[in-house]
């Protein structure tokens, strides 16, 4: 269809009959036109703007299958269900498939029956799968859904995202469609560079969600935060999501709200797959009022009637915050996004930042573990991580880095050196320059999130400027505008404690007075009960001196000393050892 006229009457007819769509939403027709013309395309469309139609509809017309790279198995299932309701023939391949299911899906691909094929990025790293696709005739279009995960997750815990471009090349460079709701100019460049699609047509319909009301609620202690969130939830009429930054916080908040009699579920990556799927389905069907979740939940979930999204803890960036907040109000009805902000909450993101990227000594340790390993036995990333005493996720990132640099090679699950000449420490450090720059960028993004939390100005203007859009007029749908302007009525005003719309009476209900200090930040004064302001990145440890801990190899021992991520332990049988905290658990 690349050199043929686009059959718009037939396309619109299929959209009506299969997807019940009478008119295209803003941006959809432009994306479809680019796809049917065979162009590489980057589409930035708000949450709920109908991004999935821009590849599901072409799958009915293109001569070969459309291959969709999806970041989460739960998201993949949701997308498959929607496509099959429209009578699109869909196959999916992921780690949840049984051998029988995988064989059946492969047969449908070989027999040219499948129109849409959903895979994870890890599947694209399998040379056998690439060969199967090529033997079946290849694909017409490569789609990367939630494309912002390429730079956000690829450099952190899922390096397979960074290899999608290589898989595209192996498949003969088919046209690519990258879809996301939010991306700064830098993120957009990283997406296209990773996919080898710098020439892509860019279609940006804007980020504005005019039905969302934004507010920030400063709190001076965890007790005050719990009281505030409980009070707001008792006034909420619909369903919503509360995001936490850690599994521990999700579990604790779930217990607290359940004890308060609020219908609550919780979801995080450490739960069993079957349990997560069940909880997600219950939430989709309205069984629970509140879903408490880490960022593992909600990506691409199509529940249009979510009325509120709360962030109980500080997110790592405005991209993350706006992406997650945008899951509210996809039906176009009024909804609201709340950040409960305590200055100390920034500590958890500083902790994550401190340990996110590999250091030179980590890189050297992994390289030496491969060099000294036995090549007669297969060495998995887990074994290499244990030998190098580097965390599993960080080891995965380092292995990807060494593969890309040509210093190691992979055959099956075995990693070996490509040269007997070891790289110099300077050469290894040079490899990490990208991560050094990324760490600085992450810190700047965290500062921008702090700016959003503490600004006295219009919050939506802050968001617009961050994503490179004109600042425009005040939004008249955030708490700060409620303080300074007469604003249109929004249901969030009562729920969040704003009883009048004037500056004099628009303040939220006051919390009980506590022993607080007033801290000056770059963006204004903040109240806190913390002894420190945490304006600089800090490293935290899950353990304390004197704790009893357990190691898989050395057994049980007591912590003698903690130095950042390195812990000195006196083991009962193995004596004194210095280890990374990743390899220890509480005894």
What is the residue-wise DSSP string for 392-407?
Answer: HHHHHHHHHHHHHTTS
Predicted confidence band of residue 58 (pLDDT cuts 50, 70, 90): very high
Residue that wins the pLDDT comparison between 191 and 424:
191
Q: Among 272, 312, 321, which Cα is nearest to 293's?
A: 312
Query: Is residue 567 within 8 Å of 557, Cβ to Cβ?
Result: no
Whether 11 has a pLDDT exceeding 90, the answer reads yes
CB 355 within 8 A of CB 565: yes
Q: How far apart are CA 31 and CA 43, in angstroms?
A: 7
Token code pair at residue 450: 């702090």
Output the CA angle 373-376-378, nearest 5 degrees: 75
Query: Cα(271)–Cα(216) distance, rounded to whole angstroms?
Result: 30
Beta bridge partners of 555: 551
Tell me what pLDDT residue 322 has.
93
Cα 415 from Cα 417, distance rounded (Å): 7
Q: Which domains does the chain have, with CATH numbers?
A: 8-204 (3.40.50.300), 212-350+449-520 (3.40.50.300), 358-431 (1.10.10.10), 548-586 (no CATH)
Q: Which of 253-267, 293-307, 368-382, 439-453 has the lowest mean pLDDT?
A: 368-382
Interval 509-553: pLDDT, tens: 444 444 444 444 433 444 443 333 333 333 457 888 888 988 766
Which one has a higher pLDDT value, 95 or 133?
Answer: 133
Position with higher pLDDT, 224 vs 298:
224
| Averaged pLDDT, 129-144 | 96
pLDDT (0 to 100) of residue 392 = 80
Nearest Cα neighbor of 156 from 585, 454, 442 is: 442
Q: Are strands 176-180 and 212-218 parallel, antiparallel or unpaired?
A: unpaired
pLDDT of residue 180: 92
CA dist 404 and 500 (Å) reads 59
Q: Do the beta carbons of residue 329 and residue 335 sit within 8 Å?
A: yes
Q: What is the pLDDT of residue 504?
A: 38
Give pairs for 464-473: CB < 8 Å, separation 24+. Answer: 464/207, 464/208, 466/184, 466/318, 467/182, 467/183, 467/184, 467/207, 467/318, 467/322, 468/184, 468/185, 469/206, 469/207
Among the listed residues 522, 523, 519, 481, the one whose alpha carbon sits nearest the alpha carbon of residue 502 = 481
- Quick one: tokens of 371? 């060099």
Phi, psi for residue 7 in degrees, rounded to 5: -80, 75
Smallest Cα–Cα separation from 82: which of 6, 28, 11, 18?
Answer: 18
Instruction: Report how far residue 58's alpha carbon sits from residue 47's, in angstroms, rounded to the nearest whole number.
Output: 20
pLDDT on residue 207: 84
> What pLDDT was estimated at residue 159?
81
**In which element (H, E) is residue 178 found?**
strand 176-180
The predicted structure's pLDDT at residue 540: 58
Q: In terms of pLDDT, which residue wins out, 503 or 392?
A: 392
**Distance from C-alpha of 396 to C-alpha of 155, rounded to nearest angstrom:** 10
∠ CA 490-294-308, rounded to 5°: 10
pLDDT of residue 71: 83
pLDDT in tens, 469-516: 888 999 999 999 988 887 777 767 777 765 443 333 334 444 444 444
Report whether pLDDT(442) > 90: no
Least confident of 83-87, 120-124, 428-432: 428-432
Q: Sign of torsion, CA 337 340 341 345? A: negative
Q: What is the distance, to the nearest Å, from the Cα of residue 33 to the centroid of all Cα atoms in its chain?
A: 29
Residue pair 257/264 in contact by the 8 Å Cβ criterion = yes
- Residue 209 has, within 13 A of its CA and on its CB side, a CA count of 29
What share of the chain in percent tops pLDDT 70? 85
pLDDT value for 367: 87
Q: Which of 103-107, 127-131, 400-404 comes out lowest in average pLDDT? A: 400-404
Nearest residue to 534 via CA among 312, 354, 311, 310: 354
CA nearest 150: which of 166, 163, 161, 137?
161
Q: What share of the chain has pLDDT > 90, as a percent?
A: 40
Cβ contacts of residue 429 below 8 Å, gap of 6+?
A: 360
Closest CA to 356 of 158, 579, 583, 559: 158
The model's pLDDT over 209-248, given as tens digits with 9 standing for 90+, comes to 889 999 999 988 889 999 999 999 999 989 999 999 889 9
Note the pLDDT of residue 515. Answer: 44
Residue 143's pLDDT is 98
What pLDDT digit, counting tens, does each position of 326-354 carry? 999 988 899 999 999 887 777 767 666 66
Minimum mean pLDDT among 180-189, 403-412, 562-571: which range? 562-571
**What pLDDT is attached to residue 68?**
96
């Amino acid at each position: 269809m690349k050199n043929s006229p686009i059959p718009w009457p037939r396309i619109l007819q299929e959209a009506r009959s299969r997807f019940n769509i009478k008119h295209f939403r803003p941006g959809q027709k432009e994306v479809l036109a680019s796809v049917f013309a065979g162009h590489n395309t980057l589409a930035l469309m708000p949450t709920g703007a109908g991004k999935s139609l821009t590849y599901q509809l072409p799958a009915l017309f293109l001569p070969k299958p459309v291959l969709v790279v999806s970041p989460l198995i739960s998201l993949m299932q949701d997308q498959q269900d929607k496509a099959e309701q429209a009578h699109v023939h869909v196959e999916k391949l992921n780690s949840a498939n049984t051998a029988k299911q995988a064989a059946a899906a492969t047969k449908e691909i070989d027999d040219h029956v499948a129109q849409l094929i959903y895979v994870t990025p890890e599947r694209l790293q399998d040379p056998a799968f690439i060969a199967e696709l090529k033997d079946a005739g290849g694909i017409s279009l490569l789609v990367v859904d939630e494309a912002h995960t390429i730079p956000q997750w690829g450099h952190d815990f899922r390096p397979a995202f960074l290899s999608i471009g290589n898989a595209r090349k192996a498949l003969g460079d088919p046209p690519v469609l990258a879809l996301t709701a939010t991306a700064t100019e830098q993120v957009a460049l990283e997406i296209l560079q990773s996919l080898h699609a710098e020439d892509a047509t860019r279609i940006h319909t804007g980020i504005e969600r005019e039905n969302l009301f934004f507010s920030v609620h400063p709190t001076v202690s965890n007790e005050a935060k719990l009281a505030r969130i409980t009070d707001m939830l008792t006034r909420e009429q619909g369903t919503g999501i509360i995001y936490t930054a850690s599994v521990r916080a999700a579990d604790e908040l779930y217990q607290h709200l359940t004890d308060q009699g609020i219908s609550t579920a919780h979801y995080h990556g450490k739960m069993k797959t079957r349990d997560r799927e069940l909880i997600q389905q219950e939430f989709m069907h309205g069984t629970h009022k509140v879903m408490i979740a880490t960022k593992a939940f909600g990506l691409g979930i199509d529940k249009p009637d979510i009325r509120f999204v709360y962030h109980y803890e500080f997110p790592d960036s405005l991209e993350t915050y706006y992406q997650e907040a945008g899951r509210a109000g996809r039906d176009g009805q009024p909804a609201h996004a709340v950040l409960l902000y305590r200055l100390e909450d920034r500590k958890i993101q500083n902790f994550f930042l401190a340990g996110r990227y590999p250091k030179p000594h980590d890189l050297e340790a992994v390289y030496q573990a491969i060099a000294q390993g036995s090549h007669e036995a297969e060495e998995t990333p887990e074994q290499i991580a244990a030998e190098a005493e580097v965390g599993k996720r960080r080891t995965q990132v380092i292995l990807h880095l060494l593969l890309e640099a040509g210093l190691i090679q992979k055959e099956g699950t075995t990693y070996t050196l490509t040269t007997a000449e070891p790289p110099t420490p300077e050469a290894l450090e040079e490899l990490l320059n990208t991560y050094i720059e990324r760490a600085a960028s992450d810190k700047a993004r965290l500062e921008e999130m702090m700016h959003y939390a503490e600004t006295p100005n219009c919050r939506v203007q802050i968001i617009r400027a961050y994503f490179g859009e004109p600042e425009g007029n005040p939004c008249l749908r955030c708490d700060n505008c409620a303080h300074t302007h007469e604003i249109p009525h929004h249901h969030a005003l009562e729920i969040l404690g704003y009883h009048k719309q004037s500056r004099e009476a628009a303040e939220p209900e006051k919390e009980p007075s506590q022993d607080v200090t007033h801290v000056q930040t770059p963006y204004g004064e903040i109240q806190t009960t913390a002894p420190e302001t945490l304006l600089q990145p800090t490293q935290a440890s899950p353990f304390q001196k004197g704790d009893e801990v357990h190691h898989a190899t050395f057994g049980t021992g007591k912590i003698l000393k903690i130095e950042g991520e390195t812990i000195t332990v006196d083991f009962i049988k193995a004596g004194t050892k210095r280890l990374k905290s990743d390899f220890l658990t509480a005894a």
